[in-house]
């Protein structure tokens, strides 16, 4: 059986994999199996356990507008994003040239990463229990930020709320979008799913 791996940054800024302990299971994955899934099945009367909605993936995106004048800013943001999620991000590029914004086709403008499985659950755990409580003047997540198909989107103004980022070593503070994609057929079921994962929605 393949060994489960995580990642950490080396001294030269590269990501290095290391084996997780045998039998390790992310806290949020266990929460889903033991608490969230039974609660959802009871509330919505699903006939089959496979009908219970689940979180399928989490997509993080950083758009770096300053990259028009300095390409190194994208590399710096991508490095910080890799530290946060433990996975190398993809550099996003302009699809076409826009002269008014000094944007050329294929110019690097940001970074994004898609998380699934263990890394997804580990990221959500850190987001809910550590990062969001550190957001300045945080008053809860908007319960209406769903797209009609069970997917939730939120924005963070400062990426330094994550414990992996050393404030003294960051070149600049970046914002990011976090999109949580679920298998729920509608927003009500998706909202209830995320509430059971302790997402702090406003009342």
Specify the pLDDT at position 37: 95
Look at residue 26 and tell me if it is in a domain: yes
Please tell me the total count of domains within the chain. 1
Look at residue 174 and tell me if it is in a domain: yes
Look at residue 120 and tell me if it is in a domain: yes
Q: What is the CATH number of the domain that holds 47?
A: 3.30.1440.10
Specify the pLDDT at position 2: 42
SS (H, E, C) the chain: CCCCEEEEECCCCCEEEEECCCCCCCHHHHHHHHHHHHHHHHHHCCCCHHHCCCEEEEEEEEECHHHHCCCHHHHHHHHHHHHHHCCCCEEEECCCCEHHHCECCCCEEEEEEEECHHHHHHHHHHHHHHHHHHCCCCCCECCCCECCCCEEEEEECCHHHCCCCCHHHCCCCCCEEEEEEECCCCHHHHHHHHHHCCCCECC
Look at residue 201 and tell me if it is in a domain: no
**pLDDT in single tens digits along all 203 residues of the chain:** 344 455 555 434 455 555 677 778 899 999 999 999 999 999 999 999 999 999 999 999 987 765 455 677 788 888 888 989 988 988 877 666 666 656 566 566 778 999 999 999 999 999 999 999 999 889 999 999 999 999 999 999 988 899 888 888 887 888 889 999 999 999 999 999 999 999 999 88
Specify the pLDDT at position 52: 95
Look at residue 31 and tell me if it is in a domain: yes
Look at residue 137 and tell me if it is in a domain: yes
Specify the pLDDT at position 11: 39
Look at residue 52 and tell me if it is in a domain: yes
Look at residue 203 and tell me if it is in a domain: no
Range of 102's domain? 5-196
């Amino acid at each position: 059986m393949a060994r489960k791996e995580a990642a950490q940054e080396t001294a030269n800024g590269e990501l290095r994999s290391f084996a997780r302990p045998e039998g390790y299971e992310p806290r949020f994955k266990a929460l889903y199996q033991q608490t969230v899934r039974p609660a959802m099945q009871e509330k919505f009367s699903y006939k089959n356990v496979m009908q219970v909605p689940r979180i399928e993936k989490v997509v993080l995106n950083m758009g770096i507008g300053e990259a028009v004048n300095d390409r190194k800013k994208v590399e710096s943001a991508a490095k910080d994003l890799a530290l946060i999620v433990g996975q190398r991000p993809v550099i996003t590029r302009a699809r076409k040239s826009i002269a008014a914004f000094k944007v050329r086709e294929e110019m690097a403008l940001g970074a994004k990463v898609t998380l699934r499985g263990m890394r997804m659950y580990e990221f959500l755990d850190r987001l809910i229990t550590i990062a969001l409580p550190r957001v300045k003047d945080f008053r809860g997540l908007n319960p209406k930020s769903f797209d009609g198909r069970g997917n939730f989107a939120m924005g963070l103004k400062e990426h330094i709320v994550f414990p992996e980022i050393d404030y003294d070593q960051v070149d600049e503070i970046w914002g990011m979008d976090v999109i949580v994609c679920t298998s729920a057929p509608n927003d009500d079921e998706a909202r209830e799913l995320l509430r059971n994962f302790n997402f702090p929605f406003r009342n």
